[in-house]
A and B are shown apart, each in its own frame.
Chain A
Amino acid sequence: MIANFDFDVIRRSLGYLFLDGMTFTLMLTGLATFGGIIWGTLIAMMRLSGVWVLSRIAQLYVDLMRSLPLVLVIFWFYFLVPYIGQWLTGASRPIRVGAFESSLLTFTLFEAAYYAEIMRAGIQSISKGQPAAASALGLTYWQTMRYVVLPQAFRNMLPVLLTQTIVLFQDTSLVYVLSITDFLGAASKVAQRDGRLVEMYLFAALVYFVISSIASFGVRRLQARIAIVR
């Protein structure tokens, strides 16, 4: 049984798996986290702005994104983004958007809805007296946010934000449905070419497991440290 397996296929494709596949996955995770937190924070601020229109738009955005399966959203964006680009720039034809850029935009906009809910909780966890005191000191809304509210909200929510990033890291595997070469895509391409599904999928599972486990262990440590300081 086990003798039929050829685990050497993993060694032979390591370069492709990590240099091509994992680089794509990690770049996508990193940049989408960065973009998602910024965009998500803006959405959360809109939601809490007290301006009816802004807060409704923000809520709609979050509800819409959170109601849809990521797979569907990935399809939507890969096919739609070039047309949106055309519409925005007024070009005469759809804008060509590469697989990476398209995935990045998809994950940034999608995960922002989740980051927004986290940041909203973070902002709401700051006692009302703080912004009141800030504005009494003459700080504008943006200054209050920039120097008083957001740094604390971000700090309080850091473990939750990082946990969401681990989820994002795992979610990036879904670009598989578009035949894009992320880590899982690379593994499946080798698996299918050489007929080595068992070996490659077990290896892919192991890699995802190790990375996610180490990351979540790190997050727990961080959480414990933050909890003590507070």
Chain B
Amino acid sequence: MRRVSGMGLAVVVAWFAAQAPLGEAPARADELSGTLKKIRETGSIALGFRDSSIPFSYLDNNQKPIGYALDICYAVVDAVKKELKLDKLAVELVPVSSSTRIPLLANGTIDLECGSTTNNPERQRQVAFGHTHFLTATRFISKKTNRLDTIEDLRGKPVVATSGTSNIKQLIETNAARHLGINVIHAKDHAEAFLMVENDRAVAFVMDDILLAAFAVGSKNPDAYVISSDSFSKPEPCGIMLRRDDPAFKKVVDEATSALYRSPEGPKLYDKWFMQKIPPRGLDLNVPMGAELKHEFANPSDSSDPDAYKVM
């Protein structure tokens, strides 16, 4: 029989505490070239991708990551290659989830996160974002037969959201503020969350409306689902995520993204993923570019304020 020594464990705790300052090494001058320096030294760049953020970042039939955000990331990769004058730059693709993306970015496992991460002030304190590539509001999807349209309709019901997203946070906050008594179910990724609605484990899935639209179109029975008109948030900006306090790398990302958006390639790229048939099953989202995003593409911005994107 194993004996746990109280003294010993106290030592462990103390050890952890002693390790705490490890993170607080003073910033060094050569850190200015942070990610770029790292990319040059290792000859590779790591992109984080998502399993099921259609059409931003998801797996096709051959389990290869593809999507709108990945195409934008590849444009950034090309710009990095040019900037560093590299002939070859290996691209490593790392699967991330909503809950692992920020720690993995911070700890250097990935250099860019290519998905539909909401750019908000809280995250801006931890990470930086490239120029906004989409605007989306938080709504919920449910089966038409359940007749749910407003947030109030969710009172006392089981509702699923993906853990680690800004959407689940909004759901939890709204639930607490309005005393809705919603049973919030945490799913690991969007696909799992949508399946919970499909299988009647939850009545609704709270998420960015564009992702919800993609799930509805891609489902076995698209007509069975409806997206709420009521929303939990204004349309919020999404961007490619990168490490904070890395101005040199941020500059490359910003320049690459704004060059892409302003060129004819930008709207074309949008059309490719939002207006045409996309893998794996040839679905067509048919979501034309809104006025806000048109304005944003002409005047790229990385602001986290939804109001900054309003078109007068």
Contacts and interface: CB of A to CB of B under 8 A. Distances in A.
B30 A189 contact: no
Contacts of B62: 16
B108 interface: yes
Contact of A67 (B4, B51, B195): B4
Interface stretch (B71-79, B89-97, B296-304): B89-97
Nearest to A87: B22
B4 A96 contact: no
A192 B189 contact: yes
Interface stretch (B99-107, B140-148, B175-183, B255-263): B99-107
B192 interface: yes
Interface in B87-146: 92, 94-97, 100, 103-104, 106-109
A83 interface: yes
A67 B13 CA distance: 13
Interface in B1-60: 2, 4-5, 8-9, 11-12, 22-23, 28, 30-31, 34, 38, 42, 46, 51-52, 59
A20 B23 CA distance: 35
A195 B220 contact: yes
Contacts of B308: none
Interface in B164-213: 188-189, 191-192, 195, 198-199
Nearest to A83: B107
A110 B186 CA distance: 27
A220 interface: no
A60 interface: yes
Contacts of A94: 106-108
Interface residues of B, number: 43
B198 to A, nearest CB: 6
Contact of A178 (B2, B92, B97): B97
Contacts of B103: 78-79
A56 interface: yes
A82 B109 contact: yes
A83 B11 CA distance: 21
A42 interface: no
B11 A60 contact: yes
A59 B5 contact: yes
B63 A16 contact: yes
Nearest to A20: B63
Nearest to B30: A92
A92 B42 contact: no
Contacts of A81: 107
B104 A79 contact: yes
Given A79-B107, A96-B46, A99-B95, A193 B191 contact: yes
A179 B107 contact: no
A195 B100 contact: no
A80 interface: yes
A99 B94 contact: yes
A179 B163 CA distance: 13
A181 B189 CA distance: 14
Contacts of B108: 82, 93-96
Given A94-B108, A179-B96, A63 B4 contact: yes
Contacts of A186: 63
Interface in A15-37: 16, 20
Contact of A59 (B8, B38, B59, B188): B8
A16 B34 CA distance: 36
Given A82-B109, A83-B107, A193 B92 contact: no
Contacts of A87: 22
Given A66-B2, A96-B108, A97-B109, A179 B51 contact: yes
A149 B97 CA distance: 47
Interface string A172-205: 0000011111000010010011010100000000
A129 interface: no
B17 to A, nearest CB: 14
A64 B9 contact: yes
Contacts of B219: 195
B92 A83 contact: no
Nearest to B44: A96
Interface string A64-104: 10110000000000111111000100001111111100100
Given A95-B108, A117-B2, A192-B195, 8 more contacts: A59-B5, A78-B100, A78-B109, A82-B108, A177-B188, A178-B97, A179-B51, A193-B59
Interface of A: 16, 20, 56, 59-60, 62-64, 66-67, 78-83, 87, 92-99, 102, 117, 177-181, 186, 189, 192-193, 195, 197
19 contacts: A60-B8, A62-B2, A63-B4, A66-B2, A81-B107, A92-B28, A93-B31, A96-B42, A99-B95, A117-B2, A177-B188, A179-B96, A181-B63, A189-B51, A189-B59, A192-B192, A192-B195, A195-B198, A195-B220
